[in-house]
Amino acid sequence: MKDTAELERHLGYTFKSKKLLIEALTHRSFYYEYPEKAAAHNERLEFLGDSVLGFVIVEFLFSSNLQFTESVMAKIKSYLVKESVLSEIAGSLSLGRYLRLGKGEEATGGRAKKSLLADAMEAVLGAVYIDGGYRKVRELILRLFREKIDSATGSGEFHDFKTELQEETQLRSGVLPEYRVIKQEGEEHKKVFTIGVFIKGKRFGTGSGKSKKEAETLAAREALSRLRSGKRALP
């Protein structure tokens, strides 16, 4: 395992107890394969970190001048604590380089697995909470997640527009929306997809994105906006 000093610099936090940080970086595969080198694995800290992260985010949202409802706060929190967001932040810290993994996980690319990175990120947050207290872990979380928080609250990307549209169309007319690729542009590794969402054969929204999922989400958002504003009525 690499020296953790560089990781601590990336975190902007220096541990008083290095054992806590080591525990946060220890996967259970390492713990079971090398019991003489590991007193514990990171799952307890991961559980704690998940709770601390959720609380900090909700507290921040609650104190916001935007006065989010409990339903919106729940959606934003769920979006921010999901595996893809956590693993992306872990990647920005090069966290995978510092993990202690068993031979099997090492051989199968464990250092790049989103699930392992997300779990380790939560474990590190749990370790900071134990080592430095609430104020320190809150500072760290808001520093690491602030851009994601601002992006989510500003763009509304935490909404599951596709599910909302499906529920809306089923409630109003008992049908499901249909997504169709209208066009694909660009080179293989830089494609842009344009997708339309159709309800009973009529197009209600269009979206373009770097993936079909992104384009479908934007198309669903446009369709919902038109339905709820009364600009379009279901056939």
Q: Which residues are catalytic?
A: 50, 122
- Phi-psi category of residue 156: left, alpha or beta, with phi > 0 → left and psi -120 to 50 → alpha: left
Sheet containing 202-209: give its strands across: 178-185, 192-199, 202-209
Furthest-apart CA atoms within the chain: distance in Å: 68
DSSP 122-145: HHHHHHHHHHH-HHHHHHHHHHHH
User: 23 in helix, strand or coil?
Assistant: helix
d(CA 49, CA 117): 13
Q: Which of 202, 200, 220, 204 is nearest to 212 (CA)?
A: 220
Question: 162: which 2 tokens?
Answer: 């596709």
What is the spatial distance between Cα 56 and Cα 64, in angstroms, rounded to a whole number? 12
Phi, psi of 204 (to 5 degrees): -110, -15
Q: From CA 85, how far away is CA 94, in angstroms rounded?
A: 14
Q: Which amino acid is at 25?
A: L
CA distance 204 to 196: 7
